[in-house]
């Protein structure tokens, strides 16, 4: 019996050591050493008159071994093993959809993201990246579809940077070179015909702080040159002034267009693109539908405070209805949808028919756009129209077949069969 026990403990000790669990290995090794000592003592006692003394020595050694093991176990109870978090991050599920355990994302400054409502792992990972770059002072490029919250993330970067100046935000979509220069750099008295006073530019307003420029994708090449100089040399010149001024504002720019494609088309400068040191991409709402319950509650509570009214109830059936929609307008569209639903709601829970009607109209509008595009050439066949609609759904869902199937009102398996049929038709 002693032999079997000692052998098992010895074997477990070797296994524990091989999987790099040193505390467990040391405990088992100590215990097995004690039992092996007893075994040897038993053998010695049977062949020698000094066996009793040997057994006593073995018992003393075993006692010491067990005391050492107890101390190790006590330390293990007080201090968790490396790589195991004592508490998971708030709201983060312990395992993903495949059952694999996820490492919790622990933020150093969660208060900086208080304006962004999420428990989505992708977004929490974005927050961690934001914390890592916030203090660097280098320019940042934030990409993502319209309505995903790029300005909120830029604001979080500013708060984490501990800059003393203001956070200044501007949407520069559609500005020609003159307006861009005037908006960012300002002008002097008499700089042009209508310049009846001095205007301070946004760069000066953001001194010591952060300047966030949204919708940068369609900026003219001439304006890109001036922006590059501001980022690279920290220099700018107001309209009507020959004097060069220096800026210490941090620059964060954002776009919802594909800048790689703009580079290929020669519409975006490579030197400016590669000067944007840090890059953050925000996922669309359709890729973080697990946040829908939180966002619905948040926007309704916000609206209740603004209206000074009691928040309406949300029927359990509402979330599955919303979950079937791809939200091309992202979080901004969700907020507007909830505001409009409340405005048309007389009393009681929010009306499910309103949401169904909204989603039906939105889907019909998107379908109409696709069919119009398909008719731009010769008259298409029914299969060509169907393929165009499926292709558009996949495009809106960023290639995610499950999301595209929801847009089309199909099951994922039905969409998969259709795609297989299209491929077979192409081979023929």
What is the signed CA dihedral for 375, 377, 382, 388, rounded to 10 degrees?
-80
- Find the angle CA(151)-CA(222)-CA(257) to the nearest 5 degrees: 40
pLDDT in the model for residue 132: 95
CATH number, domain with residue 152: 3.40.50.300
Consecutive sets of 10 residues in the chain, 428 residues long: mean pLDDT of each? 45 41 41 45 50 57 56 44 33 42 70 93 96 94 96 97 94 93 86 73 96 95 96 92 92 96 95 95 94 95 92 86 87 93 81 80 56 53 78 75 78 85 73
Q: Say how far apart CA 40 and CA 43 lie, in whole Å.
A: 5
Q: What is the DSSP letter of 244?
A: -
pLDDT in the model for residue 377: 53
| Structural tokens at position 240 | 């009507």
Q: What are the two backbone dihedrals, phi and then psi, of residue 196, each rounded to the nearest 5 degrees? A: -85, -5
pLDDT in the model for residue 196: 63
Domain boundary among 245, 261, 283: 283
Contact 188, 232 (CB under 8 A): no
CATH number, domain with residue 378: 1.10.8.60
Q: What is the domain range of residue 66?
A: 2-78
Residues 175 and 298 in one domain: no
Assigned domain for 99 exists: no
pLDDT in the model for residue 415: 87
Q: Say how far apart CA 359 and CA 209 lie, in whole Å.
A: 42
Q: Shortest CA distance to 290 belongs to which of 48, 123, 74?
A: 123
Total tally of structural domains belonging to the chain: 3
Residues 262 and 365 in one domain: no
Q: Shortest CA distance to 29 belongs to which of 52, 6, 49?
A: 6
Residues 14 and 121 in one domain: no
Q: What are the two backbone dihedrals, phi and then psi, of residue 108, each rounded to the nearest 5 degrees? A: -80, -35
Q: What is the DSSP letter of 182?
A: H
Helix axes 292-307, 330-343, angle to 10 degrees: 50
Assigned domain for 48 exists: yes
Assigned domain for 214 exists: yes
Q: Say how far apart CA 120 and CA 92 lie, in whole Å.
A: 7
């Amino acid at each position: 019996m002693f032999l079997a026990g000692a052998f098992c403990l010895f074997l477990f000790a070797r296994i524990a050591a091989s999987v790099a669990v040193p505390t467990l290995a040391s405990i088992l090794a100590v215990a097995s050493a004690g039992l092996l000592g007893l075994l040897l003592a038993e053998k010695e006692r049977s062949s020698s008159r000094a066996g009793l003394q040997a057994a006593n020595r073995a018992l003393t050694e075993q006692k010491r071994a067990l005391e050492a093991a107890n101390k190790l176990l006590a330390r293990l109870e007080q201090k968790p093993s490396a790589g195991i978090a004592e508490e998971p991050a708030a709201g983060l599920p312990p395992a993903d959809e495949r059952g694999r355990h996820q490492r919790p994302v622990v933020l150093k400054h969660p208060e900086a993201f208080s304006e962004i409502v999420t428990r989505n792992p992708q977004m929490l990972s974005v927050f961690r990246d934001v914390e890592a770059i916030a203090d660097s002072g280098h320019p940042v490029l934030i990409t993502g579809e319209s309505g995903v919250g790029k300005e909120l993330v830029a604001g979080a970067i500013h708060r984490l940077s501990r800059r003393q100046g203001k956070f200044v935000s501007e949407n520069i979509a559609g500005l020609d070179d003159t307006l861009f220069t005037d908006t960012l750099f300002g002008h002097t008295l008499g700089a042009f015909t209508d310049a009846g006073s001095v205007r301070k530019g946004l760069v000066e307003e953001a001194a010591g702080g952060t300047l966030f420029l949204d919708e940068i994708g369609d900026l003219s090449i001439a304006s890109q040159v001036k922006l590059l100089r501001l980022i690279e040399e920290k220099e700018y010149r107001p309209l009507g002034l020959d004097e060069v001024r220096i800026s210490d504002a941090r620059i964060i720019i954002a776009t919802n267009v594909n800048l790689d494609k703009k580079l290929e088309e020669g519409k975006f400068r490579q030197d400016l693109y590669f000067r944007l040191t840090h890059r953050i991409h925000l996922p669309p709402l359709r890729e973080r539908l697990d946040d829908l319950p939180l966002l619905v509650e948040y926007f309704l509570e916000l609206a209740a405070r603004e209206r000074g009214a009691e928040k309406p109830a949300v029927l359990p059936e509402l979330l599955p209805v919303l979950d079937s929609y791809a939200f091309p307008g992202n979080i901004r569209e969700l907020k507007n949808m909830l505001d409009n639903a409340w405005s048309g709601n007389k009393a009681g829970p929010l009306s499910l028919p309103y949401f169904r009607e909204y989603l039906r109209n939105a889907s019909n509008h998107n379908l109409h756009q696709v069919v119009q595009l398909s008719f731009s050439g010769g008259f298409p066949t029914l299969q060509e129209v169907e393929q165009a609609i499926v292709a558009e759904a996949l495009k809106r869902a960023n290639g995610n077949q499950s999301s595209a199937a929801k847009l089309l009102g199909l099951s994922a398996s039905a969409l998969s069969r259709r795609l297989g049929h299209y491929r077979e038709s192409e081979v023929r």
